[in-house]
């Protein structure tokens, strides 16, 4: 059974459907890609799965639990972690504390205990923090405040924070945005490494190269619908994908290819 | 029904003032981006200027100058209103230039504190210049002849006139903002300052113009209303201001129509309460008028508020950073020893000042947790303290509960109230939350603290509280013939130290980290599994427990509790000093305690300079504004960042 099983998910804002009848599955230990041009509804999908926006209709099942009706925090505690396109670190806290916030598993009495004995307790997850720092290679930055990092470092800290809770699925929302080619390639290696350790990943990105390199399975979204799904090689060759993806979002960057694709699409 | 129509119509005057204040607040917000809590007190001054001119004097708002210029005779309506409105325009411009413009990039809380300074200064000024204001009567301006609507519904017509004037003013402002280029530029500037620049206007000049316009609107209406109501600084500063804030909030500080309509409605319904109290036995005798704006605000917020800020929501409620809590033998022992020496070695006056400072520290600590750590505003902190104070009296005097149990239970009662007050905070943020808590604090104070059913007979000096004693050992302030026992000071000190250590522990613990994370970014916090609502309520609980302990300490000190210790002004002052001391750290709370009025710093200053005299409230208000403008991060924060800067430069030199 799939770890994440989304059926017929529709998200409407007013009369406009940002997601329309999306079916998507993530199997344990796999990296699934979700791509699509700007405004295709990728972040809306992540928000709907993680509880940040209200799904109008559809079912979201995670590790056998129906998530509909749960708030974002409750969903996160079932082992579903996410990052943000805009990273969203806790800028007032150090890198270590950013991770510790995610790693902690407070009990109902934690507040009272903390007021009297604030030392790092059993529920603090210091070991999980250290593991996440090592996994993302951030040991040297641990004591720096979040506000004092470069964009690339912040992206890594954002991922490390998602990992610190030791979730079973991470949704990465555009982790390669703002990274240069070599940083992006490094990121790809890290993502594969995490999957090799058994973590499942849903990777949302613009960077075709990255998605095609690291994913086992790719979904393509356009105007809120899934227009293609399959292994990377098959999706890359799909004429509909070429038309939708390169015809709009990638036009400036890819130039000729996009024009060719548009011509093809017209004739098709 | 006719009776209700009568009372509703009678309420048009009050409704018109509330609507005009709401309009003024909206104009200030749109033009200058500021919610001016000092607006009511500011425009009240113009009403007094008018009244004074009609009896032949012009009051000067500056201490040291002669109190007033004497014309020797009534200057007449036109001269009086012209001079009063010129004064209003000048004050509007001055307040923008010296208070809000310098704070345009400061944290929102700095602006709230500065406008609280404005309230304190202006009400003190009115108190000083019009100490005899009970005798200040103003002749009619608007036509007063009674008008009969139906049988039994005959009301003076001036209230209706006033409402008509306010509606006309609102329509004029609406038309100007809609159809003139200047209005368009102001609306553009409210959205984005660059918008105004593109249209060729200076945002600063627009903000200045809005501030002047707002001051003129409020002043004009106050002057027209002055024959109909009892002039009083407090009524304008809070009585009309709080419902006006509610009306403006319902109109989102944007819709003129909604703001004016809600303002008028609040005034009229409040007036009908007089009748309801007679007709319905269960209708609350106390606090209903003050409760109404609170309910309006709560309902508007509940309908509209979001549990989490939306994607890309901009946050103007920036707070100073929270430094780590470093507990070292020096940082704990030095202040404690200083306090012990002060309490034991100096005379009763010094002792009293130290005790005042210690209690103020406790209240500041409660705000460090709530505002500093959790980022939640509260202008109702003294209401929490008051709940505990009155509960203590009931427990200890009424039911004979012994010492350590009674104050702890009383603080727990305050904790429960605090969680209740915190509920709106789950959907309301920043300055809006400050408005909600202000209205809520006033409602609690009026509903509970002035209600003889709850607090007992006020005329006998308030509800009694026995001395604290443990196993026969009495450590109260007054015992037998000794009116100032040092042992009570040591008791205050011990409680303060314990609370400070609890707050330090909170800062260093996982719970504290979660609270800070939620303050820093609510979306990200819930993404990592933090229940943001729960952490906010935890902060409210801890904070109101500490405030409750503070209320018990106040009660023990005076041997009784009365509503005057726990009113809205006390809450505003507590926030102001906590902010000025440094709202994000324990050292800030200690600084706040030292600064508090009648505390150590004040006492030392009055010793050095002789008598500060009758102007101390005014000077305190002005000092608050000056400190908020020069130290937007608070004094402790300022010292810390200066020290950090020095370390950084030293590091560069070394490298």
Q: Which residue has the tokens 């050095």?
A: B608
Is the pLDDT reported for residue A218 higher than 80?
Answer: yes
CB atoms within 10 A of CB A16: 8
β-strand pairing of A169-173 with A200-204: parallel
Any residues with CB less than 8 A from the CB of A109 and at least 6 apart, and which? none
Helix (H) or strand (E) holding A20: strand A16-26
Is the pLDDT reported for residue B280 higher than 80?
Answer: yes
pLDDT per residue as tens digits for the range B46-55 = 999 999 999 8
Is the pLDDT reported for residue B344 higher than 80?
Answer: yes
Residue B311 lies in a domain: no
Q: Mean pLDDT, to the nearest integer, of B490-518? A: 94
Interface residue B427 vs chain A (CB under 8 A): no
Q: Are B78 and B85 in contact (CB under 8 A)?
A: no
Interface residue B204 vs chain A (CB under 8 A): no
pLDDT per residue as tens digits for the range B72-85 = 888 889 999 999 99
Is the pLDDT reported for residue B149 higher than 90?
Answer: no
What's the pLDDT band for B651 if we cut at 50, 70, 90?
low
> In chain B, what residues touch A143 (CB-CB under 8 Å)?
none
> In chain B, what residues touch A76 (CB-CB under 8 Å)?
526-529
Closest Cα in chain A to B320: A92
Q: Which two tokens stand for residue B320?
A: 């100073």
Cβ–Cβ below 8 Å for B527 and A100: no
Residue of A74, A90, A115 lying closest to B524 (CB–CB): A90
Q: What was the pLDDT predicted at B294?
A: 85
Residue of A43, A73, A90 lying closest to B532 (CB–CB): A73
Residue B321 lies in a domain: no
Query: Same domain for B299 and B333?
Result: no
State the first-to-last Cα distance of chain B, in angstroms, to the nearest integer. 84
**Which among B411, B528, B532, B641 is the top mutation candidate for probing chain A, defined by the most A β-carbons within 10 Å of its own β-carbon?**
B528
Name the average pLDDT for chain A. Answer: 85
Residue B651 lies in a domain: no
Cα–Cα distance for residue pair B438/B164, rounded to 1 Å: 29
Q: Are A60 and A66 in contact (CB under 8 A)?
A: yes
Helix (H) or strand (E) holding A202: strand A200-204
Cβ–Cβ below 8 Å for A100 and B513: yes
Query: Same domain for B207 and B334?
Result: no
Q: What was the pLDDT predicted at B654?
A: 52
> In chain A, what residues touch B511 (CB-CB under 8 Å)?
106, 110-111, 114-115
What's the pLDDT band for B556 if we cut at 50, 70, 90?
very high
Domain boundary among B304, B320, B341: B304
* Nearest Cα residue to A210 out of A34, A57, A28, A87: A34
Query: Same domain for B294 and B376?
Result: no
Q: Mean pLDDT, to the nearest integer, of B434-442? A: 87
Query: Same domain for B211 and B296?
Result: yes
What's the pLDDT band for B652 if we cut at 50, 70, 90?
low
Facing residues of B469 across strands? B474
Any residues with CB less than 8 A from the CB of B443 and at least 6 apart, and which? B287, B290, B291, B294
Cβ–Cβ below 8 Å for B527 and A76: yes
Closest Cα in chain B to A124: B510
Is the pLDDT reported for residue B93 higher than 90?
Answer: yes
Query: Same domain for B270 and B384?
Result: no
Q: What was the pLDDT predicted at B312?
A: 46
Between B607 and B215, the more confident residue is B215
Cβ–Cβ below 8 Å for A161 and B542: no
Q: What was the pLDDT predicted at A120?
A: 58
Interface residue B530 vs chain A (CB under 8 A): yes
CB atoms within 10 A of CB B546: 31
> In chain B, what residues touch A100 (CB-CB under 8 Å)?
510, 513
Residue of B505, B521, B527 lying closest to A72 (CB–CB): B527
- Calculate how close chain A gets to B523, using CA atoms only, in Å: 8
Which domain does B175 fall in, by range? 2-304
pLDDT per residue as tens digits for the range A135-192 = 888 999 999 988 888 888 999 999 999 999 999 999 999 998 888 888 888 889 999 9
Cβ–Cβ below 8 Å for A81 and B527: yes
* Nearest Cα residue to B47 out of B129, B156, B113, B106: B129
Cβ–Cβ below 8 Å for B527 and A116: no
Q: Are A11 and A194 in contact (CB under 8 A)?
A: no
Between B177 and B135, the more confident residue is B177
ipTM of the complex: 0.86
What sign for the dihedral angle of Cα B490, B493, B499, B502? negative
What sign for the dihedral angle of Cα B521, A51, A201, A77? positive
Query: Same domain for B256 and B381?
Result: no
Query: Same domain for B459 and B505?
Result: yes
Cβ–Cβ below 8 Å for A76 and B508: no
Q: What was the pLDDT predicted at B245?
A: 92
Range scoring the smallest mean pLDDT among B178-187, B380-389, B453-462 = B453-462
Tell me how many residue pairs between chain A and chain B have CB atoms under 8 A apart: 113
Query: Same domain for B534 and B417?
Result: yes
Is the pLDDT reported for residue B438 higher than 60?
Answer: yes
Residue of B516, B526, B542 lying closest to A93 (CB–CB): B516
Range scoring the smallest mean pLDDT among A47-61, A102-116, B641-655 = B641-655
Between A107 and A217, the more confident residue is A217
Indicate the burial class of A73 (C-beta count within 10 angstroms; 0-12, 13-18, 19 or more): buried
Q: How many domains does chain B have?
A: 2
3-state helix, strand, coil in chain A (%, to 5): 45, 25, 30
Q: Which residues of A touch B (CB under 8 A)?
A: 43, 47, 50-52, 71-74, 76-77, 81-82, 84, 86, 88-93, 97-98, 100-102, 104, 106, 110-111, 114-118, 120-121, 123-124, 161-162, 164-165
What's the pLDDT band for A256 if we cut at 50, 70, 90?
very low
Cβ–Cβ below 8 Å for B528 and A43: no
Q: Are B460 and B414 in contact (CB under 8 A)?
A: no
Name the average pLDDT for chain B. Answer: 86
Cβ–Cβ below 8 Å for A104 and B514: yes
Residue of A91, A106, A164 lying closest to B520 (CB–CB): A91
Closest Cα in chain B to A97: B513
Q: What was the pLDDT predicted at B613?
A: 59
In Å, the largest CA–CA distance within chain B is: 90
Query: Same domain for B333 and B229?
Result: no
Is the pLDDT reported for residue B411 higher than 90?
Answer: yes
Closest Cα in chain A to B518: A90
Residue B422 lies in a domain: yes
Residue B268 lies in a domain: yes
Residue B111 lies in a domain: yes
Helix axes B510-520 and B532-558, enclosed angle (nearest 10): 110
In Å, the largest CA–CA distance within chain A is: 74
Cβ–Cβ below 8 Å for B510 and A88: no
Q: What was the pLDDT predicted at B561?
A: 87
- Calculate how close chain B gets to A211, using CA atoms only, in Å: 23
DSSP B262-330: HHHHHHHHHHHHHHHHHH-TTS-SSSHHHHHHHHHHHHHHHHH--SSPPTT----------------HH
Cβ–Cβ below 8 Å for B311 and A101: no
Domain boundary among B287, B304, B321: B304
Query: Same domain for B335 and B292?
Result: no
Any residues with CB less than 8 A from the CB of B441 and at least 6 apart, and which? B379, B380, B381, B382, B383, B568, B571
Q: Which two tokens stand for residue B167?
A: 């509606």
- Calculate how close chain B gets to A87, using CA atoms only, in Å: 9
CA dist B501 → B15, B326, B331, B415, B585 (Å)? 49, 11, 11, 19, 12
- Calculate how close chain B gets to A151, using CA atoms only, in Å: 17
Q: Are B1 and B247 in contact (CB under 8 A)?
A: no
CB atoms within 10 A of CB B60: 14
Cα–Cα distance for residue pair B26/B252, rounded to 1 Å: 9
Cβ–Cβ below 8 Å for B505 and A82: no
For residue B131, the 8-state DSSP code is T
Q: Which range among A19-33, B291-305, B457-471, B609-623 has the greatest average pLDDT?
A: A19-33
Q: What was the pLDDT predicted at B138?
A: 83
Cβ–Cβ below 8 Å for B523 and A123: no
Q: Which two tokens stand for residue B183?
A: 């209005």
**Which among A13, A39, A73 is the top mutation candidate for probing chain B, defined by the most B β-carbons within 10 Å of its own β-carbon?**
A73
Q: How far is CA A143 from the centre of its chain?
A: 26
Which CATH number fits the domain that encloses residue B441? 1.10.3470
- Calculate how close chain A gets to B258, using CA atoms only, in Å: 24
CB contact residues (below 8 A), chain B span 487-516, against chain A: 502, 505-506, 508-514, 516
Cβ–Cβ below 8 Å for B528 and A162: yes
Q: Mean pLDDT, to the nearest integer, of B135-158? A: 82
Residue B538 lies in a domain: yes
Cβ–Cβ below 8 Å for A115 and B506: yes
Q: What percent of chain B has pLDDT over 70?
A: 93
Q: Which residue has the tokens 């009369």?
A: A15
Closest Cα in chain A to B372: A92
Helix (H) or strand (E) holding B153: strand B153-156
What length does chain B have? 655
For A66, the 3-state DSSP assignment is: strand
Q: What was the pLDDT predicted at A257?
A: 42
Is the pLDDT reported for residue B406 higher than 60?
Answer: yes
Is the pLDDT reported for residue A254 higher than 50?
Answer: no
Q: Mean pLDDT, to the nearest integer, of B467-495? A: 89
- Calculate how close chain A gets to B533, using CA atoms only, in Å: 10
> In chain A, what residues touch B525 (CB-CB under 8 Å)?
73, 90, 101
pLDDT per residue as tens digits for the range B105-118 = 787 888 888 988 89
What's the pLDDT band for A249 if we cut at 50, 70, 90?
very low
Residue of B505, B514, B532 lying closest to A118 (CB–CB): B505
Cβ–Cβ below 8 Å for A101 and B514: yes
Query: Same domain for B297 and B198?
Result: yes
Q: Which residue has the tokens 């959205």?
A: B191
> In chain B, what residues touch A104 (CB-CB under 8 Å)?
510, 513-514
Helix (H) or strand (E) holding B175: helix B158-179
Query: Same domain for B349 and B299?
Result: no
Between A31 and B433, the more confident residue is A31
Residue B39 lies in a domain: yes
Is the pLDDT reported for residue A264 higher than 50?
Answer: no
Q: Which two tokens stand for residue B236?
A: 């304008």
* Nearest Cα residue to B620 out of B564, B553, B573, B557: B573
Helix (H) or strand (E) holding B57: strand B57-59
Cβ–Cβ below 8 Å for A101 and B525: yes
Q: Are B56 and B83 in contact (CB under 8 A)?
A: no
- Calculate how close chain B gets to A113, using CA atoms only, in Å: 9
CA dist A32 → A87, A174, B184 (Å)? 20, 13, 49
Cα–Cα distance for residue pair B20/B241, rounded to 1 Å: 10
Q: Are B323 and B584 in contact (CB under 8 A)?
A: yes
Cα–Cα distance for residue pair B535/B515, rounded to 1 Å: 6
Cβ–Cβ below 8 Å for A121 and B510: yes
Q: Which two tokens stand for residue B594?
A: 């030292």
């Amino acid at each position: 059974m799939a770890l994440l099983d989304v059926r017929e998910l529709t998200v409407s804002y007013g009369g406009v459907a940002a997601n329309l009848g999306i079916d998507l599955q993530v199997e344990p230990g796999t990296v699934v890609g979700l791509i699509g041009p700007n405004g295709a509804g990728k972040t809306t999908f992540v928000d709907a799965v993680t509880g940040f926006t209200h799904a109008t209709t559809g079912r979201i099942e995670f590790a056998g639990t129906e998530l509909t009706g749960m708030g974002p925090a409750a969903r996160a505690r079932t082992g579903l972690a996410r990052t943000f396109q805009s990273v969203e670190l806790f800028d007032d806290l150090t890198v270590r504390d950013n991770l510790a916030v995610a790693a902690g598993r407070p009990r109902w009495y934690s507040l009272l205990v903390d007021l009297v004995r604030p030392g790092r307790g059993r529920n603090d997850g210091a070991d999980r923090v250290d593991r996440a720092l090592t996994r993302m290679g951030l040991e040297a930055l641990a004591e720096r405040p979040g506000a004092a990092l470069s964009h690339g470092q912040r992206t890594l800290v954002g991922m490390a924070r998602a990992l610190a809770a030791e979730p079973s699925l991470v949704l990465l929302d555009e982790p390669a945005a703002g990274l240069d080619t070599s940083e992006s390639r490094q990121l790809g290696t890290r993502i594969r490494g995490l999957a090799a350790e058994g973590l499942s990943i849903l990777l949302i990105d613009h960077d075709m190269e990255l998605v095609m390199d690291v994913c086992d399975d790719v979904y393509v979204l356009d105007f809120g619908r899934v227009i293609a799904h399959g292994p990377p090689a098959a999706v890359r060759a799909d004429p509909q994908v070429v038309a939708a993806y390169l015809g709009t979002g990638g036009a400036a960057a890819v130039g000729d290819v996009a024009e060719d694709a548009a011509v093809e699409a017209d004739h098709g | 029904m006719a009776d209700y129509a009568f009372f509703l119509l009678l309420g048009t005057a009050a409704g018109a003032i509330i609507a005009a204040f709401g309009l003024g607040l909206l104009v200030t917000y749109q033009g200058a981006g500021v919610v001016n809590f000092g607006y009511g007190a500011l425009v009240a001054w113009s009403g007094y200027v008018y009244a004074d001119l009609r009896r032949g004097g012009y009051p000067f708002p500056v201490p040291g100058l002669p109190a007033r210029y004497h014309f020797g005779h009534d200057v007449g309506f036109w001269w009086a209103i012209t001079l009063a409105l010129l004064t209003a325009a000048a004050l509007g411009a001055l307040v923008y230039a010296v208070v809000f413009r310098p704070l345009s990039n400061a944290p929102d809380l700095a602006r709230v504190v500065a406008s609280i300074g404005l309230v304190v200064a202006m009400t003190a000024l009115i108190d000083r210049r019009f100490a005899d204001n009970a005798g200040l009567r103003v002749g009619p301006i608007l036509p007063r002849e009674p008008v009969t609507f139906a049988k039994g519904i005959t009301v003076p017509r001036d209230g209706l006139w006033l409402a008509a004037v306010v509606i006309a003013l609102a329509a004029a402002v609406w038309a100007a903002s809609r159809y003139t280029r200047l209005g368009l530029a102001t609306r553009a500037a409210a959205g984005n300052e660059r918008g105004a620049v593109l249209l060729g206007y200076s945002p600063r000049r627009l903000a200045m113009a809005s501030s002047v316009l707002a001051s003129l609107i409020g002043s004009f209406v106050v002057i027209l209303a002055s024959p109909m109501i009892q002039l009083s600084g407090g009524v304008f500063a809070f009585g009309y201001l709080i419902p006006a804030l509610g009306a403006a909030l319902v109109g989102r500080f944007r819709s003129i129509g909604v703001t004016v309509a809600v303002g008028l409605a609040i005034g009229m319904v409040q007036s009908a309460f007089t009748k309801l109290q007679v007709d319905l036995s269960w209708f609350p005798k106390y606090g209903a008028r003050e409760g109404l704006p609170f309910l309006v605000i709560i309902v508007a917020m509940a309908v509209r508020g979001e549990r989490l800020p939306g994607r890309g929501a901009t946050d103007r409620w920036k707070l100073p950073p929270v430094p780590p809590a470093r507990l070292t033998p020096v940082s704990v022992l030095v202040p404690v020893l200083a306090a012990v020496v002060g309490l034991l070695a100096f005379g009763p006056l010094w002792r009293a000042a130290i005790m005042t400072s210690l209690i103020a520290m406790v209240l500041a600590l409660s705000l460090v947790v709530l505002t500093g750590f959790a980022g939640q505003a509260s202008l109702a902190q003294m209401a929490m303290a008051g709940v505990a104070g009155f509960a203590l009296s009931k427990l200890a005097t009424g039911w004979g509960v012994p010492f350590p149990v009674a104050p702890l239970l009383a603080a727990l009662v305050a904790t429960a109230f605090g969680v209740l007050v915190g509920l709106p905070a789950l959907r309301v943020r920043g300055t809006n939350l400050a408005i909600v808590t202000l209205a809520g604090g006033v409602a609690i104070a009026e509903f509970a603290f002035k209600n003889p059913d709850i607090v007992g007979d006020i005329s006998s000096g308030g509800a009694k509280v026995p001395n604290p004693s443990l196993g026969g050992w009495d450590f109260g302030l007054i015992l037998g013939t000794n009116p100032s026992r040092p042992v009570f000071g040591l008791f205050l000190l011990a409680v303060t130290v314990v609370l400070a250590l609890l707050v330090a522990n909170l800062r260093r613990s996982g719970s504290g980290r979660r609270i800070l994370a939620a303050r820093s970014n609510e979306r990200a916090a819930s993404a990592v599994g933090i229940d943001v609502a729960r952490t906010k309520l935890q902060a409210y609980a801890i904070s109101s427990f500490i405030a409750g302990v503070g209320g018990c300490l106040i009660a023990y000190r005076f041997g009784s509790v009365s509503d005057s210790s726990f009113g809205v002004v006390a809450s505003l002052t507590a926030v102001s000093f906590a902010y000025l001391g440094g709202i994000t750290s324990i050292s800030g709370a200690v600084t706040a305690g030292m600064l508090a009025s009648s505390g150590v710093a004040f006492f030392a200053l009055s010793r050095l300079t002789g008598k500060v005299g009758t102007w101390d409230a005014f000077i305190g208000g002005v000092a608050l504004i000056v400190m908020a403008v020069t130290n937007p991060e608070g004094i402790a924060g300022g010292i810390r960042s200066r020290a950090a800067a020095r370390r950084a430069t030293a590091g560069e030199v070394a490298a």
